[in-house]
Amino acid sequence: MKYVDEFRDAALARNLAAKIAAEVQPQRRYHFMEFCGGHTHAIARYGLAELLPASVRMIHGPGCPVCVLPIGRIDQAIHLALERGAIVCTYGDTLRVPASGGLSMMKAKARGADIRMVYSAADALKVARANPVREVVFFAIGFETTTPPTALVLRQAKAEGLKNFSVLCCHVLTPAAITHILQGPGVGPAGDVPLDGFIGPAHVSIVIGYAPYVPFALGYQKPVVISGFEPLDVMQSILMLVRQVNEGRAEVENEFTRAVSADGNRAAQAVMDEVFEHREVFEWRGLGEVPDSALRIRPAYAEFDAEVRFGLCYQGVPDHKQCACGEILRGRKVPTDCKLFGTVCTPENPMGSCMVSSEGACAAHYAYGRFRDIPVVAA
């Protein structure tokens, strides 16, 4: 616990805040995107925005695996449970994501679907072993952090010759999503979307290393700092980004030296590579179709691929017309710019992806930050 406390020391935070304030240049504005929902959450939960100078604006990127899960994928999982009688196992916060027809996995459960919350991919395998006469599907979502465990259970299932286990693979890739944003409309040097740098997720880099970020730091001239998830990590990373911008540098820097290396975890990469291959294209909620941005199961593991096993076809489902998620994820809008924010779209009844998980930009602003929109009488 001591370990965590060191990264939440208020005096250190003030110190960092003072440094950032001292180093930002008066004429300049700084727009940094934290790609990962974990950082969005830390910024909101610890009220970090309050500690930053007004000229530093944080943009909440698309890095929440729950938020970017398209409706069509959740529909597939619900279909497997409701129509095909499978036991569908999934991570907890996936349960609330709205699907078509007013359903979510939680609501489907109430209609009799056998959907079970698991805490790890390995637990899904246990469910399969315990229910040999039922089809058990693991609805696998997440970025590079949750991918190796899925790869491991696939390998295990094959080794055991399990006949009733499969994986509906919705794993997505971080670098591809960042590239997509950088290539999006208006982001370039002449564009209207200011993006001066990125905070990269440390847990992803523990797996893939920080080398994959080098091309767009160089190619797009955007500094990247790989950052831990403690509030002081985030503050330190912002300071490092400010310095890079001030000095005209665009490099990949590593704030999280306590665990991240250039190459990441080779063993994890090897098992991922054995089991998965890249999809040509994958739909992201809020961003649309993103090329080369997700994984599917290799033919050698086809019998454990739920899409193959159940002959699933992907059917995209559009979001609410007025939902501004896509533009929020790209930094073009803030949650309060959306007409639906806080009225039609709330955490209890999310319309768009950003409101789904507590790490989404709209949900985070709703839960932690909306007091800033309304003047509150001080004590």
* Tokens (6 digits) for 76: 């597939």
From the list ligand SF4, another protein, none, which binds 10 (C-beta under 5 to 8 Å, kind-based)? another protein
- Tell me whether residue 102 is exposed, middle or buried, using C-beta atoms within 10 angstroms of its C-beta: 0 to 12, 13 to 18, 19 or more: exposed
> Of the ranges 89-97, 183-191, 206-214, 309-317, which one interacts with another protein (CB under 8 A)?
89-97
Considering the complex, state which of residue 36 and residue 199 has its C-beta at the smaller distance from another protein: 36
Considering the complex, state which of residue 115 and residue 328 has its C-beta at the smaller distance from ligand SF4: 328
What is d(CA 29, CA 10) in angstroms, rounded to the nearest whole number? 26
210 scored as a contact of another protein (CB under 8 A): no
Considering the complex, state which of residue 341 and residue 368 has its C-beta at the smaller distance from ligand SF4: 341
Percentages of the chain per state (helix, strand, coil), in multiples of 5? 45, 20, 35
Pick out residues in 327-346 that bind ligand SF4 (CB under 6 A). 328, 335, 338, 340-341, 345
- Shortest distance, CB of residue 226 to another protein, whole angstroms? 15
Q: Single out the residue of 163, 97, 173, 157 nearest to residue 121, CA to CA.
A: 157
End-to-end CA separation in angstroms for the chain? 33
From the list another protein, ligand SF4, none, which binds 376 (C-beta under 5 to 8 Å, kind-based)? another protein
From the list another protein, ligand SF4, none, which binds 8 (C-beta under 5 to 8 Å, kind-based)? another protein
Considering the complex, state which of residue 130 and residue 300 has its C-beta at the smaller distance from another protein: 130
Helix or strand or coil: residue 184?
Answer: coil
> Of the ranges 19-27, 142-150, 183-191, 205-213, which one interacts with another protein (CB under 8 A)?
142-150
DSSP classification of residue 319: P
β-strands 276-278, 295-297 pairing:
antiparallel
Q: Single out the residue of 191, 195, 190, 238 nearest to residue 20, CA to CA.
A: 238
Residue of 137, 193, 207, 325 interacting with ligand SF4 (CB under 6 A): 325
68 scored as a contact of ligand SF4 (CB under 6 A): no
Q: Which residue is associated with the tokens 């040509």?
A: 280
- Shortest distance, CB of residue 144 to ligand SF4, whole angstroms? 25
DSSP classification of residue 286: T
Query: How far apart, in Å, are the Cα atoms of 94 and each of 11, 67, 254?
Result: 37, 9, 31
Give the per-residue contact string, 90-129, with another protein (x = CB under 8 A; - = no): -xxxxxx---------x----------xxxx--x--x---
Q: Which residue is associated with the tokens 């001239």?
A: 221
Considering the complex, state which of residue 177 and residue 351 has its C-beta at the smaller distance from ligand SF4: 351
